[in-house]
Amino acid sequence: MGFLIFLPFFSAVIVVLILFLIFYAILKFILYIFKSFGLLRIAKKENYKYPYIVWIPFISNYILGKYCMDKKKSIIYLILSVIKFLIMLIYFMLSEIDALYNISLIYSIFYFIVDMIVMNKFYKKVYKTPELFTILSIISFGLLNSIFIYTARIKKITKIDLN
């Protein structure tokens, strides 16, 4: 009977958690829209054969990688992003296995580092101060990447590296 005292507290925690997850999903969707519009503009300026494929998840990472790096590295970046998605999906489905937590955490850190390297290469091609954008991306844990890609759509996009 004593646990009934804590029932309102636990239900409040559950409601807050659900609201947070809904907010996070909406935020990620909005950032996906920003990233896709930015990459669409870049793909059109770069005269890609099918620029609208940037709206396909994971393929947008390939286009971003292809813009910043060579084709082999962009394919590796695409594969790494698919692996990250699969690891996170498996972790959420089987979260009771402790080893999966460690694997997903280590891979998430590894992917974050790779993502920041790719974004730094992107910033070097688009912005005059790529270090500033890279630092802001790291501080925001990558949440600002989509905004920076979106704002890059109005910049002069060229295939010439600015270094």
- What is the pTM assigned to this prediction? 0.78
Evaluate whether residue 49 is within a structural domain: yes
SS3 category, 163: coil
Closest CA to 45 of 163, 149, 119, 156: 156
pLDDT above 50 (res 160): no
Is the pLDDT at 97 greater than 80, yes or no? no
For residue 33, the tally of other CB atoms under 10 A from its CB is 13
Answer yes or no: is 123 within a domain: yes
**Residue 163 lies inside a defined structural domain of this protein:** no
Whether the CB-CB separation of 163 and 49 falls below 8 Å is answered with no
Taken in order 108, 111, 113, 115, the sign of the CA dihedral is negative
Q: Is residue 162 part of a domain?
A: no
Residue 159 lies in a domain: no
pLDDT digit string, tens, across residues 55-68: 988 888 988 888 88
Domain count along the chain: 1
Residue 160 lies in a domain: no
Asked whether residue 19 is domain-assigned, the answer is yes
pLDDT digits (tens, 9 = 90+) for 86-95: 988 888 888 7
| Parent domain of 128 | 2-152
- Give rounded-to-5 percent helix, strand, coil for the chain: 80, 0, 20
Whether 88 is covered by a domain: the verdict is yes
Residue 157: pLDDT band with limits 50, 70, 90: low
Look at the chain and count its residues. Answer: 163
